[in-house]
Amino acid sequence: MQKRVYIETYGCQMNEHDSERMLRLLESSNYAETKDPRQADLILVNTCSVREKPEHKVCSALGRFRRLKEEKGTIIGVTGCVAQQEGHRLLDRVPYLDMVIGTHALPLLPSAVQKVEFLGQRVCETNFDPEGAYLQTVLPQSLPVGVKSYVTIMQGCDHFCAFCVVPYVRGREKSRPSSDIVSEVDHLTQQGVKEVCLLGQNVNGYGKGLKGEIDFPDLLYRLHDLEGLERIRFTTSHPADLSEKLIQSFRDLKKLCEHIHLPFQSGSNRILKRMHRGYTRETYLERIGCLREVCPSIAITADVIVGFPGEEEEDFEQTLDLMDRVRFDDLFSFKYSIRKGTRAAQFTDQVDEEAKQKRLALLQGIQREVTLQKNQILDGSVQEVLVEGRSKQSERDVTGRTRTNRVVNFDGTQDLIGKLVSVRITKAYPHSLRGEAISD
């Protein structure tokens, strides 16, 4: 009999993609996805501990599912960064929890579920795996694939930025063999996927440890040759590793979309040094200059942290100044939160909450204006849109993205899904564009 699994996902695209991989792994154990936890035989909470907020949400999620465990005996598991970090402590703290599966233990998920189902055991798997079995290809069997798909090309990180927990919960940088990636993308395109987004914490470090086989731009060139694939994206790049060769790929590769996510974290050299980021504001700005020279229409987005320990008003001013010089298309901004085990957790000059909040609000207000202005510039222009599906707002509309990753809604029929459509932009909003399809 078919069983049902409900997965609740917190955090970044990497976690979203891990959830997709979990669904693929559980297909072979006869589990199909449900969007309703009350219908589920198995509930998995896929967690993130990169910042404070998503970490707290995990506890309240588990609280919500407790009743289902008591009433129906639903199996409950925690996966992802919090699972990796807390391990057995989580099983001790949450008596109704059945499974804790760490970031490298994903392939063990089906056998862990069986141990709970048939042996009534509680399972905790949090060993790091230096062989990288967790990176092995898991292809979708009967699961429907959409128009676009994420593909993990590497896991972990070697950078050890002072604020960041990723190297501790995801382990060291490990790249997948390029042949695995190429055949996965080929398989996906044969099933109808038109766009892939290559995922890693630091994709431009791709290839380290693969014995000089290939670097990241080489991988892009190889994927570019695949028939049926229309668009390639990637995230995230580290400014210190952004090579000239990668920048040139934006000129040479037609399928590579004109968008780069390049977190800068702070505009102050003093803070960048304390963060252990490995670049200065000058080199960051120089890289942006090179990108814009090679590809003038490129959209640039980034992450920034306010209130890192020791950040003074002058440092924050430098962050605003860098934003003013770059004029980002969009920005993901966060208040610094202490992460256990990281270097910055020991810094004694923590910034008070009120100052952090004030800086964040000011920065976000400025960026909102810039994002809207950048969208307004597109009013009247014709954009290539890959149609992803029906719009949630209106039944008559379809929705898709421009090459620069902006959401566009327009009047259109179901048969446009999966197609590249030329759309004239008629209205700009802060988070999306409205348009009308034009015939070429």
The binding site for ligand SF4 (CB under 6 A) comprises: 157, 159-161, 164, 166-167, 201-202, 238
Answer with the entry of ligand SF4, ligand SAM, none that 336 interacts with (C-beta below 5 to 8 A by kind): ligand SAM
Tokens 């810094």 — which residue? 347
Binding segment toward ligand SAM, per CB under 6 A, in 172-180, 243-251, 335-343, 379-387: 335-343
The binder of 160, among ligand SF4, ligand SAM, none, by C-beta within 5 to 8 A per type, is ligand SF4
Torsion angle of C-alpha atoms 336, 337, 341, 342, degrees rounded to 10: 0
Q: 3-class SS at 344?
A: helix
Contact 232, 220 (CB under 8 A): yes
Question: Which does residue 318 touch among ligand SAM, ligand SF4, none (CB within 5 to 8 A, set by kind)?
Answer: none
8 A C-beta contact, residue 75 and residue 113: yes
Q: How far apart are CA 30 and CA 75, in angstroms?
A: 15
Instruction: Decide whether 49 or 383 has the Cβ nearer to ligand SF4.
Output: 49
Given the complex with ligand SAM, which of 97 and 302 has the nearer CB atom?
302
Measured CA to CA, the distance from residue 78 to residue 35 in angstroms comes to 17
Name the one range near ligand SAM by CB under 6 A: 54-62, 160-168, 248-256, 356-364.
160-168
H/E stretch holding 247: helix 244-252
Structure tokens at 297: 């229409």
Q: Is 305 in the site for ligand SAM (CB under 6 A)?
A: yes
Close Cβ partners of 432 (under 8 Å, ≥ 6 residues apart)? 406, 407, 408, 409
- Name the residue type at position 104: H
Considering the rule CB under 6 A, would residue 263 count as an interface residue with ligand SAM? Answer: yes
| Cβ 263 to ligand SAM shortest distance, Å | 3
Q: How far apart are CA 239 and CA 256, in angstroms?
A: 19
Q: Is 334 in the site for ligand SAM (CB under 6 A)?
A: yes
51 binds, among ligand SAM, ligand SF4, none (CB under 5 to 8 A by kind): ligand SAM
Residue number, 74 or 202, with CB nearest to ligand SAM: 202
Which of ligand SAM, ligand SF4, none does 351 bind, CB closer than 5 to 8 A by kind? none
Q: Which residue has the tokens 């048939």?
A: 118
Up-side HSE of residue 105: CA atoms within 13 Å toward CB?
Answer: 27
Rule CB under 6 A: which residues touch ligand SAM? 12, 50-51, 163-164, 166, 201-202, 236, 238, 263, 265, 303, 305, 334, 336-337, 339
